Amino acid sequence: MPAMPVVSVAHMDKTVQAVVLGTGCLVASAAALKYYLNERTPKGCAKVRGSGWLGVLGALPEMWKCILKYEAHSELVKYHEDFGNTLDFDFGILQLFLAPMIITRDPQNVKFMLKTKFENFEKGETFHAIGHDVLGDGIFNVDGESWFKQRKTASQMFTANRFKQHIWRVVEKNCNKVISILAEKQEPVIDMFNLLNRFTLDSIGEIGFGADIGSLENPVSPFLKSFDEAQRILFKRFVLPGWRAFRLFGLGPEAETRQHMTALRSYSRRIVEDLADALEKPAGDSFVGLFMKNEPGLHPEFLADLVLNFLIAGRDTTAQALSWCLFQVMQHPEVEERILEEVDRVSFGKSLTYDQLSQLSYTEAVLREALRLYPSVPLDSKFVTEAMTLPDGTWVPRGSMVIYNSYAMGRSKQIWGEDAAEFRPERWLNAEPKDPYEYPVFHAGPRECLGKRLAMVEMKTVLAELLRHASFRLAVPRDQVLPDTAATLGMSSGLKCHYEMRL
């Protein structure tokens, strides 16, 4: 049999040449793409994929479905229970454009992120871009030297003397305003979530900036709505590919972005202008006043960034924790009774003083238990600067977004035992202090919340005085009180309550 002739590409028909070369290019491209995706794929943990015809987009459609139904956090708990403590969320073809997303509730991983390898877990450029409209270059949106300098200056606000001479007076005054509003209100139902947000906003405004925000007197301020909507917008950007295009054209979740961001910026600029005119007055003794004194010549836009960072920190998290705590207390009359007994014993039936707050051990246990189940920051994300292996064996590629899930950690039986889902304040009494990496509700490590002590002072005072002056019960079924889908754990439904003033 004669040998088959060898045909070179040069002698092929041009059409055949094109097919051969095209096929070669496709094979090479597919191989390169497969290698690229493999290098960007976390390993050693469970993968959460999509299903049905939308599976081509991975888990993203299911995530959006949960977000729109206000079920994102409860669904994540189920994922952890079903698949494991560390999860890799597959985004299908969108994985080409999105950073790998790993969500963990393993305390070993949390400690690794927040302490052991702190320098390698940053807010990063992606987080900075997502949050820049609201946070700018403020303390919650930067890393490195800028973060360190801001934290060092801000920490000067939390001295023992400032607490006793300035902070306590503001908290006490605004707490009395809340009680007066309740006493004067004629309607049988009140939204306590709204009222507590107004309390914390006015308090941080005066404590932090010497500013009279006046939201307790004016509950319909458009600033309040923009404050909430802006945070919902930022949260959704994490799972909205191409959010910049949506923002540019004002579409979908970004339809009202310009309106709300402009309102926030205008307000924060006015506060900065007022502070600049009052530096030698009490207003100078404030968060932004400290920056103005320590670093003269700071750009007004940077100072406006600081205002919004501290307003968010001082208003949202504390009001939300108080609201979820009250939500639980209304369902546990034995807890309310024990709080009232403790407050009466400590205060001798009178208004609480600052020095008496430290004696409210059971009241503090109630607040800590509420924060366990409803952490004000339910999800916190970092971006890794280099590929590494987490303590539980999960390998994460460089540039991955690693999220620790405080909400799911608070419901983990591995951490809290078989009664993890139960509201039981007694677990905090006469017990060893919990490892902050098992209970990171105030963050942990070098970035632990500076306002932790301020939050506890506000929450103890308000919870004790509220219950001392009024009794509350839910005005809606329990399952109609829904968490919000935002960066912090608000209540999308509000907290509608019936209440009666005590004699």
- At 318-342, the pLDDT tens digits run 999 999 999 999 999 999 999 999 9
| pLDDT for position 284 | 46
Say yes or no to pLDDT of 378 above 70: yes
For residue 450, which amino acid is it?
L
| pLDDT for position 164 | 83
| pLDDT for position 285 | 60
Q: For residue 486, name the pLDDT band (cuts at 50, 70, 90).
A: confident
Mean pLDDT computed over 347-375: 96
3-class secondary structure, 490: coil
The token duo for 373 is 């189940």
Q: Where are the extended beta strands (E) located within 5-163?
A: 46-48, 86-89, 101-104, 121-122
Contact assessment for residue 234 and residue 487, using Cβ atoms and an 8 Å cutoff? yes
Mean pLDDT computed over 24-35: 53
Among residues 247, 464, 193, which one has the least CA distance to residue 350? 464
| pLDDT for position 297 | 80
3-class secondary structure, 88: strand
Greater pLDDT, 461 or 34: 461
| pLDDT for position 12 | 53
**Tens digit of each residue's pLDDT (9 = 90 or more) over 60-86:** 888 888 888 889 999 999 999 999 999
The token duo for 11 is 């002698």
Contact assessment for residue 466 and residue 330, using Cβ atoms and an 8 Å cutoff? no
Domains and CATH numbers, the chain: 46-501 (1.10.630.10)
Say yes or no to pLDDT of 159 above 90: no
191 φ/ψ angles, rounded to the nearest 5 degrees: -90, 100
Tell me what percent of the residues of the chain surpass a pLDDT of 90. 57
3-class secondary structure, 6: coil
3-class secondary structure, 40: coil
Tell me what percent of the residues of the chain surpass a pLDDT of 70. 89
What's the chain's length in residues? 503
Which residues does residue 401 pair with via DSSP β-bridges, in sequence order?
A: 101, 383
| pLDDT for position 50 | 82
| pLDDT for position 361 | 96
For the chain, give the mean pLDDT: 88
Q: From its phi and psi, is residue 443 left (phi > 0), alpha (psi between -120 and 50) or beta?
A: left
Say yes or no to pLDDT of 9 above 50: no
Mean pLDDT computed over 21-38: 55
| pLDDT for position 18 | 64
Dist. CA 189–CA 428, nearest whole Å: 33
The token duo for 17 is 């040449």
Dist. CA 373–CA 354, nearest whole Å: 27
The annotation status of 449 as a binding-site residue, yes or no, is yes
Contact assessment for residue 60 and residue 92, using Cβ atoms and an 8 Å cutoff? yes
DSSP alpha helices (H): ranges in 250-389?
257-276, 287-294, 300-329, 333-347, 361-373
Q: For residue 348, name the pLDDT band (cuts at 50, 70, 90).
A: very high
| pLDDT for position 78 | 96
**Tens digit of each residue's pLDDT (9 = 90 or more) over 218-235:** 877 777 788 888 888 998
Say yes or no to pLDDT of 28 above 80: no
Greater pLDDT, 52 or 284: 52
DSSP class of 191: E
The token duo for 151 is 């934290």
Say yes or no to pLDDT of 32 above 60: no
Mean pLDDT computed over 14-31: 60
Among residues 308, 329, 285, which one has the least CA distance to residue 459? 329
| pLDDT for position 166 | 85
Give the number of other Cβ atoms within 10 Å of residue 151's Cβ.
13
Which residues does residue 472 pair with via DSSP β-bridges, in sequence order?
A: 499
Say yes or no to pLDDT of 197 above 70: yes
Say yes or no to pLDDT of 7 above 60: no
| pLDDT for position 353 | 94
DSSP alpha helices (H): ranges in 166-221?
168-184, 192-209
Q: For residue 469, name the pLDDT band (cuts at 50, 70, 90).
A: very high
